[in-house]
Amino acid sequence: MKVIAHRGASGVAPENTLNAFRLALESGVHGIELDVQMVDGVAIVIHDRWIQKTTNGTGLTKEISLEYLRTLDAGGGQKVPTLKEVLILINGGCIVNIEMKAPGCELAVMADIDYALQELNFSYDQLLVSSFNHFSLQTIKQLNQHLKLGALTAALPLGYAEFASQLNAWSVNACIDFVDRNFVDDAHARGLEIWVYTVNQVEDIQAMLELGVDAIFTDYPSRALQYLNEASAL
């Protein structure tokens, strides 16, 4: 089972910052997940549309300028990074799961992915683009058929992973609250991986291992890696 650092090592460093991503890389994770919003036409890495939850500024991402955003503290004196800066830092060192949060961010995200593939040490296999917005997933797949899609769901659909098959996704990325044997088996029968968020407690890690999920998103990657290592499940 793979370990994906959720917003970086966000349990021990401010989420979605270069420090959180650096710590995740140093822990030897299989992958890093990050969230993308848009500011001034640039893909930036922050979870919320409103910036006040994780910075000392206020405002909506779609209404502020990049210049203003870059003056703010995202924790420990760090700035809100751009997607490009994060890709440069990781540089093919592990999988990157880019979660598109902002409607209309697909072209900007695609440009950064092209840069990662052409100028950095990334391969297609190391990039997974996910979203709860399935129209965004359709749009980015139309821009590049080779991209691997992670179809996110915060609900348990009546057709289990059928929606992900319809999207021609590579994985279904689902909330731990409802992941069960039926959902896992249905995803696997469709040839899809199943990645589960957010899995922090060891009891939950154990349960996901027993269900046979392919990857967990966790805020504490070192804890998860240590647990799985001791269980010989890496």
Residues that bind ligand G3P (CB under 6 A): 6, 33, 35, 47, 99, 130, 152, 173, 197, 217
Tokens linked to 56: 């000392």
Nearest CB to Mg ion, comparing residues 32 and 186: 32
Q: CB under 5 to 8 A by kind: which of ligand G3P, Mg ion, none does 197 bind?
A: ligand G3P
Among the listed residues 15, 35, 112, 193, the single contact to Mg ion using CB under 5 A:
35
Binding to Mg ion by residue 99, rule CB under 5 A?
yes
Instruction: Report the SS3 class of residue 172.
Output: strand
Tell me whether residue 146 is one of the annotated catalytic residues: no
Question: Prior bond to 198 cis, omega within 30?
Answer: yes
Q: Which residues contact 14 (CB under 8 A, 6 or more apart)?
A: 20, 54, 74, 75, 76, 78
Strands 31-39 and 95-100, by their bridges, are parallel
Q: CB under 5 to 8 A by kind: which of Mg ion, ligand G3P, none does 112 bind?
A: none
Nearest CB to Mg ion, comparing residues 99 and 186: 99
For residues 175 and 204, the answer to whether their CB atoms sit within 8 Å is no
Nearest CB to ligand G3P, comparing residues 52 and 71: 52
Determine the residue with CB nearest Mg ion: 99
Segment holding 150, helix H or strand E: strand 148-153
Shortest Å, Cβ 4 to ligand G3P: 8
Tell me whether residue 47 is one of the annotated catalytic residues: yes
Shortest Å, Cβ 166 to Mg ion: 22
Tokens linked to 142: 């139309």
> Alpha carbon of 89 to those of 24, 55, 56, 92, 93: distances in Å?
12, 21, 24, 9, 9
Shortest Å, Cβ 128 to ligand G3P: 9
Nearest CB to ligand G3P, comparing residues 99 and 106: 99
Catalytic positions are 6, 47
Binding site for Mg ion (CB under 5 A): 35, 99
